[in-house]
Every structure is written in C-alpha cells, then in structure tokens.
Chains A and B, each alone.
Chain A
C-alpha cells in the first residue's frame, strides 16, 4: 500500500470518492490499491479515469468495493471478480469479468469476445452488444446482454443463465451442458446439441428477476428459451469418426 500512496497525489481521498487517473498512475498501482485490505473502507467509490483501453483494470478484486471506470477498458477487465461492483462507462475488450465468482460487472457500452468466460457466479450486464463466444464455458454466472451476441456464445456452458435482448449469432449454445439461454431476437443457428425449449412459469419468473436486476424493461414473454438436449453427455458410436 505504501508504494501506492507515496508520491501518488491522485490516490488521496476526495471525500467519499478516490480517483485514480491512469494518465498518471499505472494499472499495477491501481490494482494494488484495490487489493489493499482497507480498500473498501477508504472510499465508497473508486473512480478510474483515463483508462484509454488499458488491460487488466480492476482484476482480482475480493472485497465489497464499488469501482467506476470512466471510459473504455481493454482485455480482462474485472477478471476473477469476487464481491465487488464494477461499472465501465464505455466498451470493454476481450474477456470482461472472466472467471467472475461473485459481485457484479456492468458495461454501459459493448464488450469484445469471451465476455464472462468461465465465470462461476455474479452478474455481468452488457448494455450494448457482446461479440463472439459470450459466456463461453460459463459455470454459474448470470449474463444479461442488452444488444446482440456473436457466434459460439455459451459454448460448452455448464451452469448459469445467459439473457440476450437482441439477436444471437451462429452456433448458439454449442455443446451446452446445463446453462439456460434466453434470446429475445433471432438466433442465426443453434450449435450442436442446443435446442429450443418450452418457456414455463418458472422460466418467466427467473427471467423477470434477471431483467430487473440488470435494470432492463423488456417483457419476459418476448423471449425464447434454449438449452441442452443432453445427447452429448454419453458416448454414442454415431459421433465417433
């Protein structure tokens, strides 16, 4: 912590908000400050300015922190998040909130590939579009995308929910295990073993709750549900080459 604050005027508290200007501080200094044991006590909000698409912002957090990134972030923003609430007022690069365990990550712009990859828990909201492989190998995270998602989204998803308010690209839910997928718009194509499923009352209820948590006003009745046909769980000789 000492190494972070010494000489770094930008880290001095400004009321309840601590501003870290990445035009003057390094990403390593930012993340070290956010990892410090007293980070949550020092400020109600950590404001990150001049992110300019830098990588690995607010990674590996494990405290009830509120972090706001004022601009576009690069790769792996808020990766491995636990408990923290991270908001990005811009676009994010590859792998936002990858392997998130808990907490929430909210992107006001669009996300690049592999948003929420392998994430176990928490809520990822992308207001714009998410590119290819959104929710790849998701393991329990909830992802709500206000726009559309790219090809191979939820590939090998194992648990969690993916809500797409726009359209889905090719091969949605390829080799899916148990994640539940909701899409409001069109689906370009379904991946291997992904099928459309009946929307029952419990699905409308969980979808309504997810949309509410994500701050969206879409009608759950407009969505269709997709999931695993469970035909790839066991070896079938017809699938052998």
Chain B
C-alpha cells in the first residue's frame, strides 16, 4: 500500500495556496505509507527560483551551506549558487544548464544522490512519518502550479531516502507509484544494457527510468505511458508529471485505488477521496475513477 496525491492548478489565483492544499491532501494518506514520503513542487520561487536550473539531491550528511559552497567551487568562478534546505533533501540553484549543474554536484559531492533536476521543479523526499517530513520541508508555504506527494509503505526494496518517491530522473519529470512491478528486474537489465544508471533497487525507479527513456527518444507522455502498460507487468496506479503535463494511468486490473476530481480551477488525483475532501469547490467537481490502461493527461 502507498498513498498518492497530486494537484494541478489551472487557476493562477490558487498558486499561492499550492503547499497548503497539498499538505492537507498528504495528511489524509499518511496511514497508507507511514515509512517515507516525498513531494515534487513545480513553480515555487524559493525551492526552484525562476530562470535558474535546480538540482535536488540527498546530501549524505552535508548541510545546505556545505553543499552550496562545494557546488559553487566546482562551477566556473563567479557562478552564483543558492540553495533550499528541505531537511533530508537540498535543492541547489545556479544560472547554468542541467548537465553543468549535475556535473558540478557529481564532482563536488561524489556520494550525493541527485533525486531531481530541471527548471521550476524541486523534489524533496526522505524517510520518516509523512507529516514530520512535510514540516521539515516547509511544504505548507510552497507555491506553484503543480505538486505531487507520495507516502510509501515499502514492499519491494529498503526504506531509504533513495528508495522514496517521487522518482524524478528526467528533466522536470516526476513519477509516483502505488503498487509493485513484477518484471522490473528484467526491464532494469535491459535499460542498463542501454547505458541507463540506477540509484536504487526500487521497482518504481525502473518505471521512471523507462518513461524518461521514452520521452528522451521523442515519445510524448501519453505514448510513453502506453508503452509502459505494454511492457510492465504488475500492479500500478501511476501519477506522472512534467513541467507542463499531469498524467494518470492504472494497470489492466486496476486494483490499486485512484480517484480524480476536476474543476475549471484545478485537477486533483488521490488514492482516496478523503484526500480531496478539503479542496475548494470539490463539492461541484467532476469526480471519477480512472479506467484501467487508459492514459489521462492534463496539460497547462
């Protein structure tokens, strides 16, 4: 069992309330995944300042200040580096491209694990109770146009920050999963043969790497998720987002729960209705359960 919540805000007037609404949603799925949690926030000016590249990383014991200094030292002189301290995750920012900033992180902090990168995206995750993590992150104050959160009850791999969701392995991408993939080891081997590197033994990471590879090869999100349905066996409800898309797909049996609510102001998805009950205007929302193996995509 795991818990998923996601919110895609169409109404700009709601953007300042993203963190508050997402925190309320997250607090309703804590029982579904009390061992670890994570969020991806799109468009918060503190977590991922506009016009800058952001790289989210697990600093392996370094403080946000130490991370910032070390990364600045690995970049060309004069490149300004700032950071956001998300507790177990640190997000560093600089006016550079993704490869340069990720490269600097790799040189400066070889032990650190990059858990997300892109413009306008911060990925913050770790182990512990979701409510405590949300406080560490300061989620309630987050702003932006889109957010995803996950609470994990581990079944396939260890309870570690690396094994927590979301998995953000391509630019601006984010995948959260409720379920378990049966053939992930086979697909992991195939992806490794293609040169794809993995950060964890988590089955969901294989799904994220697969989607990222498809997107990199030119598929759109809908096509990538259709291909995932063809290739992966097992149980899954997936919420997959990019900078401009918000998508939901379930396996053919669809035993892992999912509920979607949609209004002109927002689209929300959650494992259970109670996570949607506090959203403004939910009483007039169109509420439905996604059909099996049907890909739903909403775009900005």
A residues lining the B interface (CB < 8 Å): 52-55, 72, 74-75, 91, 93-94, 110, 112-113, 131-132, 150-151, 169
Contact = CB atoms under 8 A, between A and B. Distances in A.
A53 B272 contact: yes
A162 B273 CA distance: 26
B196 to A, nearest CB: 34
B287 interface: yes
A52 B287 contact: no
A53 B254 contact: no
Contacts of B255: 113, 132
Nearest first, the 10 A-B pairs at minimum CB distance are A53-B274, A53-B273, A52-B277, A131-B289, A53-B277, A72-B273, A74-B274, A132-B254, A52-B274, A93-B273
Interface of B: 28, 254-255, 257, 259, 272-278, 287, 289, 291-292
Contacts of B257: 93-94, 112-113
21 contacts: A52-B277, A53-B275, A53-B276, A54-B274, A74-B273, A74-B274, A75-B272, A91-B273, A93-B257, A93-B272, A112-B273, A113-B255, A113-B257, A131-B289, A132-B254, A132-B289, A132-B292, A150-B254, A150-B291, A151-B292, A169-B291
B254 A151 contact: yes
B287 A91 contact: yes
Main secondary structure of the interface of A (DSSP, over half): loop
Contact of A112 (B278, B289, B291): B289
Contacts of A54: 274
A150 B252 CA distance: 12
A59 to B, nearest CB: 16
A110 B275 CA distance: 17
Contacts of A150: 254, 289, 291
A93 B271 CA distance: 10
Contacts of B292: 132, 151
Which among B28, B277, B278, B289 has the highest number of chain A CB atoms within 10 Å? B289
A151 B251 CA distance: 12
A173 to B, nearest CB: 17
A93 B258 CA distance: 10
Nearest to A132: B254
Contacts of A112: 257, 259, 273, 289
Nearest to B292: A151
A55 B31 CA distance: 12
A38 to B, nearest CB: 31
A124 to B, nearest CB: 18
A75 B1 CA distance: 14
Nearest to A131: B289
A23 to B, nearest CB: 11
A72 B273 CA distance: 8
B277 to A, nearest CB: 4
B272 to A, nearest CB: 6
Contacts of B274: 52-55, 74
B33 to A, nearest CB: 16
Contacts of A72: 273, 277
A203 B253 CA distance: 32
